Amino acid sequence: MLGKKMEKALNEQINAELYSSYLYLSMASWSESEGLDGFANWFKIQAQEELTHAMRFYAYVYERGGRVRMAAIEAPKTEWKSALAAFEDTLEHEQKVTGLINKLVKLARDASDYATENVLQWFVAEQVEEEDTADRLRQKVELVGGKGHGLYMLDRELAARVFTPPPAEE
């Protein structure tokens, strides 16, 4: 059975993952409005991935006899001054999420909730990848100067991203 404090914290994390999805959908929408269809594709897939993160926590809370309650999702930004600014925000956001995951690990550890700590390890590894991807894309946009032919080529590259559902939990 999940402790009340942990249940509340996991509910907050579900909300944070849903906000992440909403934020990336907002970035997709902004990209679309700028004619950056490849960027829009990348952010839409990112939004889908975040939903899978939320659902992973959702399933776990029920597996441990807890209860999920939906709460209001904060409204994300809707405008960015450039593609570079969007990826700077992406990196900053993922760093923030890493901090949230780390806090959950600490909470689980302090409560000797080893099952939750174990589930969180997947997210610890995922955040390393999320931060790395965001940073590499930020660097690439910076490298091409955020415009012209370079940005067009990068947009084409990002158009190739496809959504891969995460493997089922063991």
| Residues binding ligand FEO (CB under 6 A) | 17, 20, 50, 53, 94, 97, 130
CB of 149 to ligand FEO, least distance (A): 30
Of 104 and 151, the one with the shorter C-beta distance to ligand FEO is: 104
CB of 85 to ligand FEO, least distance (A): 18
List alpha helices for the chain, DSSP H. Answer: 4-33, 37-63, 83-110, 114-143, 148-159
State the Cα–Cα distance between residues 43 and 90, nearest whole angstrom.
10
CB of 148 to ligand FEO, least distance (A): 29
CB of 41 to ligand FEO, least distance (A): 17
Of 113 and 130, the one with the shorter C-beta distance to ligand FEO is: 130
Of 6 and 23, the one with the shorter C-beta distance to ligand FEO is: 23
Please report the sign of the dihedral spanned by the C-alpha atoms of residue 34, residue 130, residue 21, residue 42.
Answer: positive
Tokens of 111: 């409560």
Q: How many CB atoms lie within 10 A of CB 110?
A: 10
Q: Nearest residue to ligand FEO, using CB?
A: 53
Residue that the structure tokens 């992973």 belong to: 56
